[in-house]
Structure formats: C-alpha cells, structure tokens
Structure 1
Amino acid sequence: MVTLPIEFRTPLTEGDVGALGVLERDGIRFEIDSGRLILIAPRTLWHADACHRVANLRPYAYGRQGMRISRTTVRCPDVMVLFAEPDPDASCHDPADVAIVVEVVSPDTAVEDRVVKPRIYAGAGIPEYWIVDRHPTDPRDASVEHFKLGVSGAYQRIGQAALSELEKTG
C-alpha cells in the first residue's frame, strides 16, 4: 500500500508532482491530465526495449521525464528528446525545450497514443512526434511512424521505418 504525502484536491497541479514522487519511487508511473491523476500500467519487456532502443538514436533523449504542458497537465512521454543538455536535477521540462516526443503503443494505450496525445503535444508546439508500434512481421522489431508539426498546428505524417533500420542509419 502507498500512502500519498498530499491531501487530494482537484484539480491537481504541477506543484503536486513533487509530492507524488513517492509513486515513482514505488514503481508506479503517472501523469496529470487537466488536473486528474492518471496511473499508468507497468511496461512489458518489449515496450521497455523499444523505449531504450529509440532513446539510443538521439542525443539528449530521456525516458520517464515529465513535460509541463500547463499548470494542471504534466505528461510523461515514453521518450523525450530535448534540444540541448538539460539541468541534471530537472525532472519536468517545458515544451519549448522538447524537440521530439515518442510514444510506444501498448494495446491499452493505442487510442490515447494515436488520437489524444498528438493533439496535446501539437498544441504544446512540439516539432516532432513519433509513434512506435509492433512491427507487422517481426515480433522483436518495431515500426516507427514519424510526424512533423505542420503550419495548420496539427501533425503531418512524413514517413515510417523499421526501428532496426533506423538503428543502422543513425
């Protein structure tokens, strides 16, 4: 059992994230969306491996970091690539510092990763969004869809590649 060190009130704010750090220390991942606490299920091994492999493609790529969308919305993408080396003590970053957000699809997060999160990240001005999903023919590989923020303010799909191919080309 986990006892939270805050008195729950809604909406939760970014200021509550530090107090909720006890969840992370106990291995419980979470996000705050419009003041609501969202608990995230543990990752499968395939999911964790895909996150690790994607993070190794770019410098300043980190997993399990927060991104401050607003005072009441803090998202924790599977992988976040920053434009520059961050403060080593930071755990939550401004969207203006984020170059790429990557979400690895799980069966229970497919709609969230393909519909909800692209709207949130595009609204925050994140230049690129990648969706990583199971490869259709190789269960150990992944398929990476690459989107760029268009002038309309929405993401436009610009390509797709196998993660194994991206690892070869850098």
Structure 2
Amino acid sequence: MNGMAEIIKHACIQDELLFRMLEQYNMHDIQTDLSLVETLVERNIRIKMNIVTADEAEAGDRKILNFGHTIGHAIENLHHIPHGHAISMGMVAICNLAVRLNILEVQEAVRIVKLLAKYHLPVDLETDLQQVYQAIRQDKKRQSDLIQLVLLKKIGEAFVYPLPVNSMQEHLKHIMA
C-alpha cells in the first residue's frame, strides 16, 4: 500500500490520465493483473525520472515530488506509521488547504480522497495539531518564515506555494480537523 500512495502522488502531480486509469481499476485488479502492474510501474518510473533529470539540483520542478510530504512526514514521525499511510493523509490535508486557498476545486479534492480510500490508504487521523505544527516548523523545506508546500491547481498539475509558517497553525485547524 505504501507504493500505491506514491503512484497516486505521481498521478496527482503530473499525470491526470494515470489518475483516471487508477479510478477505473481497484486493488484486486492490481494484485491479479501483471500487465497492469507493469504499466503502472513503467509510467511511474518515467514520471519520476523526467522530473529528477530535469532538475537534478532540486532547485525547481523537482520539489513537486514533495506533494503531501511536509504534513505527511510530521504525521509519520509523530505516530510512527508507514510512510505511504502518512503521505496519503498529508496529500488529503494539502488538498484541503488548496481548496481553502481557492486554488483547487472541491470536486478535484474529493476525487483524490476517494481514490486514496479506494486503494485502502488512510485519509484522516486524530492527532495533536500543535505537534504537527511544531514538526512543520522544523521541516527542511522551510525557508526563513516560509514553508514551501506543493499544491495542486488540478489533478495532474502541481506547483510550489510559499506559505508563511505562522499561518500554517491556523490552517491546520481547518484542514486536519
């Protein structure tokens, strides 16, 4: 399941067609259809390879690979849960933030949450928001008073959004409650 979180992440950030493909299938299909697995693996390797080779220094577009990771890593460290589970919940929180900021349409966020749940990935968690906020404040993607978050404009189109760290505490109350 951890691998499915990464596959869904790649679809969200750069491949709307892959996202639609994942909507058509389910976990049973992936577990029983070797050609489908090969297609998914090849497509995901290509996505990651294209992003990494275009930005080897991680100075630009490569940062989009961090979609869901800022909040996800905080959750992972606080709750000691598998990486993919934490990233799934991080993607949900970031989609909620993008909706809250009027960047992502609600329907797109709903599709993402449904897809994560369809592949048996967690989409919510009761947690101490203050601890999540403190972990985010320590995140390596923080630059001075800004945290570099990866948001979606739509499924398949991600971008880096600098958000004042001090505003994150208020946002967490709405996006993870």
- Give the TM-score band, short-chain normalised: 0.3 to 0.5
TM-score of the two chains, using structure 1 as the length reference? 0.32
TM-score of the two chains, using structure 2 as the length reference? 0.31
Would you tell me which structure has more strand in proportion to its own residues? 1
